[in-house]
Copies of this chain bind each other. A is one copy, B any other.
């Protein structure tokens, strides 16, 4: 049995024929879609794509199972649209941040802060973790993420970091050559929290600060 075991639902079907007409059309279509996505995030995050059940998503979203199919073609579409919709607002934010005209250290601090506040402290952390855990079996998703996030941010960062190197803001070009090193701790924090939170919680803010110290020297 899969380890994160789920309580067996009773098979008894109560078919109250007089059931009080529960709020059909109570919500806007958009609101419905939203609540399905919300529920989906909870379920996918808790169980992973394969083990999540649309039944549970529907229950959590307070809609019928069939309703999900009015908004999403199938389970996979739901998953992909979920990830995409959560990512979109982030992408703009990251992109604009990356082009700020500030010292590189400030920029990196900004990025770190954004990560801590806007991602790690929110459900977006779950979305990123889903990309990490499910991405390998969802080539399309990985591609989407690469195209929309990585491919946009990486060159900008690389350029900015190269500039910093040439200006002497950075001691060497390691970061410019591998901007991945800049976000590695963020990724590590997400993975760590999913695996070891119970045993050894991580102070992410401090982790990010330490990382910046490592790169730029201790904060003044």
B210 touches A177 (CB 8 A): yes
| Cβ proximity bits A186-220 to B, threshold 8 Å, 1 near / 0 not | 01110110111011101000110011011101100
Most interface-central of A6, A8, A75, A195 (chain B CB within 10 A):
A195
Q: A77: which B residues are within 8 A, CB to CB?
A: 11
Contacts known (A73-B10, A172-B218, A180-B185); A136 close to B133, Cβ less than 8 A = yes
Copy count, this protein chain: 4
Contacts known (A2-B50, A4-B47, A11-B69); A181 close to B195, Cβ less than 8 A = no
A93 interface hit (Cβ, 8 Å):
no
B199 touches A181 (CB 8 A): no
A188 to B183 Cα, complex, angstroms? 9
B178 touches A210 (CB 8 A): yes
Tell me how far the C-beta of A54 lies from the nearest C-beta in chain B, rounded to whole angstroms: 12
Q: A137: which B residues are within 8 A, CB to CB?
A: 2-4, 47-48, 51
A184 interface hit (Cβ, 8 Å):
yes
A168 interface hit (Cβ, 8 Å):
no
Interface-lining segment among A18-26, A57-65, A140-148:
A140-148
Name the residue on B nearest A2 (C-beta): B51
A195 touches B131 (CB 8 A): yes
| Cβ proximity bits A3-33 to B, threshold 8 Å, 1 near / 0 not | 1111010111101000000000000010000
Q: A218: which B residues are within 8 A, CB to CB?
A: 171-172, 174
Tell me how far the C-beta of A52 lies from the nearest C-beta in chain B, rounded to whole angstroms: 9
Name the residue on B nearest A154 (C-beta): B200
Tell me how far the C-beta of A158 lies from the nearest C-beta in chain B, rounded to whole angstroms: 12
Tell me how far the C-beta of A145 lies from the nearest C-beta in chain B, rounded to whole angstroms: 7
